[in-house]
Amino acid sequence: MKLAILFWCYKNPELCLDRLRLIRRCNKQTPIFVLYGGKPQDAPLFEELFHGIVDDFYQYNEPPPVSSEELLAEFRNGVRWKYLYGDLQFVAWFRNRGIALDWDTVVVIQWDMLVFCSVTEAFSSLKKNEILFSGLRPVSEVEDRWSWVSPDQPAARKMYLDFLMHVKNKYGFTDAPQCFIAIVLAMPRSFLKKFAQIEARSLGFLEYRLPVYAQIFGTPICTEHAFKPWWGAVETYSVTSTLRALPFEIWVPTILINLIKKRGARIFHPFWRPVPAGIFGWSCAFLRGLQRAVVAIIRGLPVC
């Protein structure tokens, strides 16, 4: 199986460059394709910075789906539609660029993710034509608390029910819908080829839309992997979590402890600072992490 990396970014070019250098050091032979979804006028800067590190650069520059902001304004003001419909960016990349590139499965790496390993090793359990979702679970387990489907959020709830009605009418889908936390994601060419052909692709939210279509297409789902994200308000907070969707940066001591362990995590999200250089750099980061932890404990905030 030919694995490739799809580096998904839209801002902070210098930090993205820092991430790509780390990824390339650990993945010398793996193709790295860039999916840039930021401001069109900034694309040349990103492409120039990444030159010589990545194998391809694609700029996503399509208009937002109709009424996306209106649908969600009722329950979450200010949410960027490019996150809610990130899977449509993947489809645009596949249709306009990725289809002509040489790969079997792409591993999506976000701009604020630390990757201290080769994807070949990290995704060694992934088989050809399988899809991988971090934190996959039935929607029923989180339906009363997860804001994207909860009855407490009328706009999001309506969008979810409209989506279920669509896939039932169109595909006869009556299985228990599944959902995931969109942090670690690996998609085979066979899935994207089918997903690029669906109708009403803007209906729903990517964290249940992608798993449900995988169910519809009969795409095998890889469940034997180590990517276990924290589900935010749905689960009790843990300082040892290595993958988070909410804006709590991974604690540096947590990163170091995992890197020291033979079977510790090698992928972390999010982390919004350059990778510390050398023992001194990591020592300083460790001390800053402890300082922030003390402040957080005093203020009653999550340690991060």
Domain boundaries, the chain: 3-227, 236-304
* Radius of gyration over every alpha carbon of the chain, rounded to an integer in angstroms: 19
Which H or E run includes 43?
helix 43-50
Contact 231, 135 (CB under 8 A): yes
User: What pLDDT shows up at residue 289?
Assistant: 60
* Tokens representing residue 15 in the block: 């930090």
d(CA 258, CA 268): 10
Identify residue 36 by its one-letter amino acid code: Y
User: What pLDDT shows up at residue 183?
Assistant: 95
To the question of domain 3-227 being in CATH 3.30.870, the answer is: no
Contact 209, 163 (CB under 8 A): yes
User: Which residue from 89, 75, 80, 96 is spatially nearest to 7, judged by alpha carbons?
Assistant: 89
| Partners of residue 5 on adjacent β-strands | 32, 107
Count of CB atoms situated within 10 Å of the CB of 165: 12
How do the pLDDT tens digits run along the chain, 304 residues long? 899 999 999 999 999 999 999 999 999 999 999 999 989 999 999 999 999 999 999 999 887 665 555 555 544 544 456 677 789 899 999 999 999 999 999 999 999 999 999 999 999 999 999 999 999 999 999 999 998 999 998 888 998 999 999 999 999 999 999 999 999 999 999 999 999 999 887 789 999 999 999 999 999 999 999 999 988 777 877 778 899 987 778 888 889 889 989 899 999 999 998 886 655 455 555 556 655 655 555 555 555 5
User: What pLDDT shows up at residue 282?
Assistant: 53
Q: Are strands 178-179 and 267-268 parallel, antiparallel or unpaired?
A: unpaired
Which H or E run includes 109?
strand 105-110
d(CA 137, CA 105): 22
User: Which residue from 125, 117, 154 is spatially nearest to 22, judged by alpha carbons?
Assistant: 117
* Tokens representing residue 102 in the block: 């040489």
